[in-house]
A and B are shown apart, each in its own frame.
Chain A
Amino acid sequence: MDPIILFFLLGLAAGLLKSELRLPQAVYDFVSILLLLSIGLKGGIELQKQPFLDLAPSVLATLMIGLLMPLVAFPLLHKLGRFARADAASIAAHYGSVSVGTYAVAVAWLATREIGYEPHLPLLLVVLEIPAILVGIVLARGLSSDTKWSDVAHEVFLGKGIVLLIGGLLIGWLSDPQGLKAIEPLFMDLFKGILAIFLLEMGLIAASRAGSLKRYGLFLIAFGVAMPLFGSVVGATTGWLLGMSEGGTMLMAVLAASASYIAVPAAMRISVPEANPTLSLTASLGITFPFNVLVGIPLYWQLADFIHRTL
């Protein structure tokens, strides 16, 4: 078994058994900052090597996924799940956006198997973070309301995740390769170790959601598993249509399957305050993140493999 997955299981078990273990918030912050920067840097360095012609179609297709996913999720949650409008909109926004942690695990999974992927995927990761937030806000309040769009824009574009990802991309893209060598030990060589600590903490956080999981019941669990499965098919098909490699197709599936827990919760808390954050975080962290990390990633690889073989 992959050790980083075992770190996640350790965190999950420690949390469920109510162990005294907790990481200081500063550690969580530091580790997630490193992950975001590493992913950005890696993308930037690769983009430097080849001119990014033809990026427009994949950026556009990714934007479309970001708009489509919440529009599929919202009626399911609102009508079928009978969630209040604000709650349904907020959960839908989480599922339209993307989880950097899940992406990092998928990248590590591919690296272990020495499978390559398109260099611009980190850019698509950034692109997919954003549209669902806007769709979520519009679903919750409609267009004509008193939403302060300048506040929303600030929250969306200057949130920690976006700043670090885009910052890393730009630094990687603008730096000369010799200079980058010097910082590689921290950002590249230690990537998996950092990811392991991050997953330990994610296990603890996911376990802390167990209580609310019981309270909100079966529909949320079913949704938290079904939505990523649907997303993975949408993502993988898009990747294939864009002519991506198997690795790239699999990462597109991961992007569309994952649910946000950094950018979207922060934006929703401010823009749609009446939505209950426990619901969306329970779904995205308590169900979908563990599902994707433990079951989803190998499954999405098989999906990518299947699509490339049969189509």
Chain B
Amino acid sequence: MSIQEDYRRKLLTVITEAALETHLTRDLDKLGAPGYTITNARGRGQRGVRDAGWEADSNIRVEVICDDETALKIARHLREHYYDNYAMILTLSDVEVLRPEKFRP
């Protein structure tokens, strides 16, 4: 399938502590994310094993598909507010979508 310029979007993936979920989703709405998907996650990193045995050991993975500008705005906001004190990993990747109108702010 050939993809036109307009079909490219950013996929922002955040893996962080489950405790942050409410705050994070509030921020995402405020920063203009058109939507998000949250899944439970577990794994190991700098802050040790997070095995999701109970709430304090649980991680979530948040995915947002949006335009470049919104993605950068969200990434910058999360870096400023959460990187210092919370376990958080954030990646940006290019994705191609079939219904671009869904992923506008």
Contact = CB atoms under 8 A, between A and B. Distances in A.
Interface residues of A, number: 22
Contacts of B101: none
B94 to A, nearest CB: 32
B56 A261 contact: yes
A268 B12 CA distance: 28
Nearest to A160: B55
Interface in B52-76: 52-58
B2 interface: no
Please classify how large the interface on chain B is, using the bins under 10, 10 to 19, 20 to 34, 35 or more.
10 to 19
A25 B54 contact: yes
B23 interface: yes
A201 B54 CA distance: 9
Interface string A46-73: 0000000000000000000000000000
A205 B86 contact: no
A22 B19 contact: no
Interface in A130-185: none
Contacts of B58: 25
A205 B84 CA distance: 26
A79 interface: no
B47 to A, nearest CB: 8
Nearest to A32: B54
Contacts of B40: 25
Contacts of B84: 273-274
A281 interface: yes
B55 A266 contact: yes
Given A266-B19, A269-B17, A270-B19, A208 B51 contact: yes
A302 interface: no
A166 B57 CA distance: 26
Nearest to B55: A266
Interface string A200-211: 010011001001
B52 A25 contact: yes
Contacts of B17: 269
B102 to A, nearest CB: 31
A240 interface: no
B43 interface: no
A265 B23 contact: no
Nearest to A268: B19
A75 interface: no
Interface string A8-51: 00000000000000110100110000000000000000000000
B45 interface: no
A22 B53 contact: yes
B53 A273 contact: no
B85 interface: yes
B56 A201 contact: no
Interface of A: 22-23, 25, 28-29, 201, 204-205, 208, 211-212, 261-262, 265-266, 269-270, 273-274, 277-278, 281
Interface of B: 17, 19-20, 23, 40, 47-49, 51-58, 84-86
9 contacts: A22-B53, A25-B58, A208-B51, A211-B48, A269-B17, A269-B56, A270-B23, A273-B86, A278-B47
Given A25-B58, A28-B54, A204-B53, 12 more contacts: A23-B53, A25-B40, A25-B53, A29-B55, A205-B57, A208-B49, A208-B51, A212-B48, A266-B19, A270-B23, A273-B84, A281-B56
